A and B are shown apart, each in its own frame.
Chain A
């Protein structure tokens, strides 16, 4: 069965302290690895799509990378407004997304 595991479950950083979030997956035939950001009480906001090992995408302070077994979301010099839950998902058959449980990030001033 396809599985998506995110770590850590929660992460507390000081403003400016860079770190990485991990998403490991087991899937037969990757149909894309997706990163989302979710703020409390809101729907997930799309960040990145990665399709093949070695691929990288960047947006402001965020950079997503992909290997054959895992993806990393690197956060460089985070700010308090980066506090949110970050979700990763893999595409399964039938256009369904299989989500991990997320990493709750808190960035303190």
Chain B
């Protein structure tokens, strides 16, 4: 099976802009989670989607949002980018109602 794919792999944006990141889960996986990874904070949970519904959300401001489509593909959006949003954004997928998650390669976002 193909793994989790994320696009784009690298992105450079300017403060105040918005960005959309995309994730395609492993075939058959219906749960998609998003994480932010920074050197200082490590991996932090953003949100989780299942069957197009957000089931859980981490402690991030409302500028961070996401959605899931009927084919389980997911997107996350960050509006009004700040310098501190520079990070590796990781998407993970899992089968229905399981905690074991498989990660994609990530999108490296740099905000200047």
Contacts and interface: CB of A to CB of B under 8 A. Distances in A.
B61 to A, nearest CB: 17
A34 B100 contact: yes
A32 B43 contact: no
Interface in A48-75: 49
A46 B101 contact: yes
Interface in B40-80: 42-45, 48, 50, 55-56, 58
B105 A96 contact: no
A97 B45 CA distance: 7
B25 to A, nearest CB: 13
A22 to B, nearest CB: 16
Chain A interface size, as a band, is: 20 to 34
Given A97-B45, A98-B45, A102-B42, A44 B99 contact: no
Contacts of B103: 36, 43-46
A18 B50 CA distance: 41
Contact of B42 (A41, A42, A95, A101): A101
Interface in B75-112: 90, 92, 94, 97-106, 108
A34 B105 contact: no
A109 interface: no
B99 A91 contact: yes
Contact of B43 (A41, A49, A93, A99): A99
A31 interface: yes
Contacts of B4: 43
B24 interface: no
Nearest to B102: A46
B58 A95 contact: no
- Listed from nearest, the 5 A-B pairs whose CB atoms lie closest are A94-B56, A91-B99, A43-B103, A99-B43, A96-B45
21 contacts: A31-B99, A34-B100, A41-B108, A43-B103, A44-B90, A46-B100, A87-B43, A89-B43, A91-B99, A95-B31, A95-B33, A95-B50, A95-B98, A95-B99, A96-B45, A96-B58, A97-B33, A99-B42, A99-B43, A100-B42, A101-B42
